[in-house]
Structure formats: structure tokens, C-alpha cells
């Protein structure tokens, strides 16, 4: 029997708050956030999977939509 390895893909999505844009943005993809790495040193993933299991304090500041250049903050993480 053959053995293969699995791949885990993590994405974290928000919708641009600009009513004329409403682009679906992956916070972990620099192409969606105007070239900014919001997960530098695992910042977002550590908030997503905190040691105490509570992610109510999740936040990501100064996100810029690559499509319309709207800048906004993200507060809270829904599962």
C-alpha cells in the first residue's frame, strides 16, 4: 500500500467594507492586501490558534484592499 502526505491550507477571509468594491480578501495573501504581509512571524495564525483556545481578541489593523485601496481594521474571528 502506498503512503502519501497531506497538505493543510489555511485561509482567513474578509470582505472589503467599501460598498462599491466588496472584494473577497484573504488576509494571508499579500496579493489581496496591497503587498502587506499581515501574518509576518505568524502574527495572524497565533491569534487564530492561541494557546488558551480563546480568539475573541483577534485583530488585524491597517488592511488595504488591493482592488480599491480602501484601508480598514478587522476585529474578531468567526469560526
Q: Is the pLDDT of residue 49 over 90?
A: no
Mean pLDDT of 38-57: 85
Q: What is the pLDDT of residue 30?
A: 97
- pLDDT digits over 52-78, tens only? 777 678 999 999 999 999 999 999 888
- The full set of domain ranges for the chain reads 13-75
- pLDDT digits over 5-18, tens only? 999 999 999 999 99
Q: Is the pLDDT of residue 35 over 80?
A: yes
How far from chain centre, in Å, is Cα 68? 17
The CA–CA distances, whole Å, from 41 to 26, 31, 32, 49, 51 equal 17, 18, 18, 14, 16
Q: 3-class secondary structure for 7-46? A: CCCCCCEEECCCCCCCCEEECCCCCCCCCCCCCHHHHHHH
Amino acid at each position: 500500500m502506498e503512503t502519501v502526505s497531506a497538505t493543510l491550507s489555511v485561509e482567513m477571509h474578509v470582505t472589503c467594507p467599501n460598498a462599491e468594491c466588496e472584494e473577497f480578501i484573504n488576509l494571508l495573501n499579500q496579493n489581496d492586501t496591497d503587498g502587506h504581509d499581515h501574518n509576518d512571524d505568524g502574527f495572524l495564525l497565533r491569534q487564530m490558534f492561541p494557546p488558551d483556545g480563546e480568539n475573541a481578541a483577534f485583530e488585524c489593523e491597517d488592511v488595504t484592499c488591493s482592488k480599491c485601496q480602501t484601508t480598514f481594521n478587522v476585529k474578531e474571528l468567526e469560526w
